[in-house]
Amino acid sequence: MSRLELTGISKQYPAVRANDLVSLRVEPGQIHAVLGENGAGKSTMMKIIYGAVQPDEGQIRWNGEAVKITSPAHARKLGISMVYQHFSLFDTLTAAENVWLGLDKSMTLPEVAKRIVEVASSYGLDVDAQRPVHTLSVGERQRVEIVRALLTKPQLLILDEPTSVLTPQAVDKLFVTLRQLSDGGCSILYISHKLDEIRALCHHCTVLRGGKVTGEVDPAKESNASLSRLMIGAEPPPLRHESRTPGATVLAVQQLSLAKQEPFGMDLHGINLEVRAGEIVGMAGVSGNGQQELMAALSGEDPRAAPACIRMDGKDMAQASPVARRAMGLHFVPEERLGRGAVPTLSLAQNTLLTRTETVGRLGWIHTGQVQRLAEGLIARFNVKAGGADAAAKSLSGGNLQKFIVGREIAAKPKLLIVSQPTWGVDVGAAAQIRGELLKLRDGGCALLVVSEELDELFEVSDRLVVIAKGRVSPSVPTAEATVAQIGEWMSGLWPETPEATQEATAGVATKVAS
């Protein structure tokens, strides 16, 4: 008898058919992967199983019995628990208080704390129940979420992209726990688009594409290439990465320190960084380690940096406005596409005006015809699928909007392009295209700094790698000499202070004193 069986599940949203006659069968103790690109219908399916969304048609059987799961509370009662991709913890409360909040109030807080310790130790999960959540690392927060899910003794645990915020070492630790759970008879639904992980961990894999099941396979017997064919229908073309001698230093960051602006932000400590013309520097790191703060300081959105800590082409721009930096040739692609990189309700044409002002006359009047042509040009050149230049930014899919925004900045012919999470939430085809465009820009002599949480991506495009952790940036290593294990270790903040790095730091101090 299967633990969970879905047959012919469909869900129609106003604009899209998110699930189309989807079937799924999970056995007891099975680690079952659900693989698919963003927008393939994975989340909708999970929400249906967790009772957050009702299907339009189809049947759900739970331990052999037909059920209609009406709400998440109902799902939990049946024995289904879920760990979301974006954690739902209150920063100011302790781990125990957070867990307690989500339970029915049959247990007192001290009892809950005791249960947490019991459950955590039996699965080798290291959780301090009394610490406020904001002091916990991302991996620790996830453990709190998992413990919370396990407290209800689930028969099915759903994990939504659980490794997107973890270091490679933390991923290994998580896998040990999951295997232990599965040995104990708990079924696990593991949602991901990371092929290596699925092949290493899962017993069975259901592949979704465009809301339909396109494959039912044993991941251990598949290759990355065959899985990705099932997922996107084709293999992404390999990138050509030719080695090149980089030119002069374009961006020089020396001893940049900056106090955080928000209570749960990250202070930046003595950051040194150099990016030269014609090279891509990749910055790895788990999110929340100061990337946001560093990006704001580099883009000019946060102009509080001490004078001369940030130089471009030798000129101090630590306190220059974003407009002044763009005039010097610095362009930036932020990680939030809607609301920061683009105004959701405005058209693509109007959105070009955020960073491109060649269509504005000298008296400040907008030449609407030129704006329109600029947007149409970008749509054609970067293969953006949109309803034309008048389509609202929010009507585009994530990948297409990202192509538009990256294209808008690339077409401005920057000297230095800083890109944050270039392919976050972007489908595989668009991601490959964006990476290709970045490499093309590099070959044209532009200096690039790419910040990403995806190590694969950084290894693919970068010439040199640095790691950001706890508001500090590591010395750089040439990508050819780096290993995933080494970068993973650095991501937890442990890197050797090489003589070269110390030298660089002292040189930075010396310049600062001299200036």
Partner 1 sequence: MIKLEARPQPSRWMSLASPLMALAITVLIGVFLFVILGKDPWRGLQVFFIEPVKNLYQISELSVKATPLILIALGLAVCYRSNVWNIGAEGQFVAGALCAGWVAMQAGPDTAWLGRGIVFFVLIGGVLGGMVWAAIVALLRDRFNANEILVSLMLVYVAELLLSYLVYGPWKDPKGYNFPQTITFLADTRIPRLVPTLRAHIGVLIAAVAVAGFWLFLFRSYRGFALQVGGLAPAAARYAGFSSRQALWTALLISGGMAGLAGGLEAAGPLGQLSPYVPAGYGFAAIIVAYVGRLHPVGIIFSGFLMSLFYIGGELAQSRLGLPKSLTGVFQGLLLFTLLACDTLIHYRVRWQRAAAPSNVTKAA
Judged by the rule CB under 8 A, the positions of this chain that interact with partner 1 are 13-15, 62, 65-70, 74, 77-78, 299-301, 321-324, 326, 332, 334, 336, 339-346, 350, 353-355, 357, 360, 364-366, 368, 392, 395
Nearer to partner 1, 15 or 513 (CB): 15
Complete DSSP assignment for 202-239: -SEEEEEETTEEEEEE-GGGS-HHHHHHHHHSSPPPPP
**What is the Cα–Cα distance from 123 to 147, expressed in whole angstroms?**
9
User: Residue 334 Cβ, how far from partner 1 at the closest point, in Å?
Assistant: 6
**DSSP run (H or E) holding 19:** strand 17-26
Place of tokens 């949480």: 453
User: Residue 481 Cβ, how far from partner 1 at the closest point, in Å?
Assistant: 35
User: Residue 354 Cβ, how far from partner 1 at the closest point, in Å?
Assistant: 4
| CB neighbourhood size of 158 (10 A) | 25
Nearer to partner 1, 306 or 343 (CB): 343
Selection from 167, 13, 148 nearest residue 84 by Cα? 148
User: Residue 346 Cβ, how far from partner 1 at the closest point, in Å?
Assistant: 7
User: Residue 300 Cβ, how far from partner 1 at the closest point, in Å?
Assistant: 7
Nearer to partner 1, 57 or 111 (CB): 57
Complete DSSP assignment for 420-453: ESTTTT--HHHHHHHHHHHHHHHHTT-EEEEE-S
Place of tokens 């959540």: 133
Nearer to partner 1, 8 or 233 (CB): 8
For the chain, the distance separating the N- and C-terminal CA atoms, rounded to the nearest angstrom, is 75
Nearer to partner 1, 339 or 478 (CB): 339
Nearer to partner 1, 350 or 452 (CB): 350
User: Residue 131 Cβ, how far from partner 1 at the closest point, in Å?
Assistant: 31
**What is the Cα–Cα distance from 393 to 267, expressed in whole angstroms?**
33
User: Residue 473 Cβ, how far from partner 1 at the closest point, in Å?
Assistant: 22
Nearer to partner 1, 185 or 387 (CB): 387
138-151 and 168-183 helices, crossing angle to 10°: 10
Burial of 302 by CB count in 10 Å (0-12 exposed, 13-18 middle, 19+ buried)? middle
